Amino acid sequence: MNPDDIKIDDWLRIFYGELPASYFIEVIIRMTFVYLLLMVCIRIMGRRMASQLNRNEMAALTSLAAAIGMPVLSPDRGLLPAIAIAIIIVAGQRWISRIASRNEKFEAITQDDMEILVKDGVLELKAMQHSRITRERLFAELRAASILHLGQVRRLYIEANGKFTLIENENPKPGLSVIPNEDPELIEEQPKADDRLVCKNCGNTMFQPLKPEHECNHCKDVNWIPPIKPEA
């Protein structure tokens, strides 16, 4: 198309393009075929495709949609290449899933592994850094689960699929508050345990400093504050 032919008020070109009207019937036929092809591919790749996807399945589904979507938009693209691409993607995904179900190392390589983010009320900072999870994001997940301080948490995992799994402590202990600093009123309302201190950086209460400048034996920080007292 000549650039001089592009006009802002050319509504016919904007809505219909330069293809003949008969192509719209062909678009319906192509879209129906692509939709059915996607449904068949998802069915073949297994039930997990209808649930939460792991990384391999997400990559397969995205690649599949991108590859076989071209014949819908371009009249010069046939449907047979889309079928060939779909066969390759589906076969590759089923092969990866089969190997991963038999080999845990291969599964960890292709789908990543879980990490422990909180252990017995203490933040695992190295695991958080490796998983690229900030304190704000972690605390937000805990607040969403009605957790008000780390002493209520026995374990917090981030699974290989990115989902968080929380195991609460049956016998809560004093812990670091997860209430954001933007809500000082609620922080002030939380009852403090005055008989001990908690590391402000990681939530460690296992080591009690003799002096305020003593380093935490978990993260080497020197900031200590009173922890939140567990509910009776």
Q: Would you say residue 155 has pLDDT above 80?
A: yes
DSSP-assigned letters across all residues of 167-219: EE-SS---B-B-S-TT-HHHHHHSPB-TT--EETTT---SS--SSTTPPPTTT
The whole-number average pLDDT for the span 122-135 is 92
What's the mean pLDDT when you consider all of the chain? 81
Amino acid at 198: V
Q: Which helix (H) or strand (E) holds 102?
A: helix 80-102
Q: What is the pLDDT of residues 156-173, one digit of tens each?
A: 999 877 889 999 999 999
Residue with tokens 């049956």: 170
Tens of pLDDT along 138-154?
999 999 999 999 999 99
Asked whether the predicted pLDDT for residue 50 surpasses 60, the reply is: no
Instruction: Retrieve residue 34's tokens.
Output: 């692509």
Mean of the pLDDT values across residues 38-55? 66
* Cα-only R_g, the chain: 28
pTM of the model: 0.65
Contact 130, 114 (CB under 8 A): no
Rounded CA separation 59/162 (Å): 15
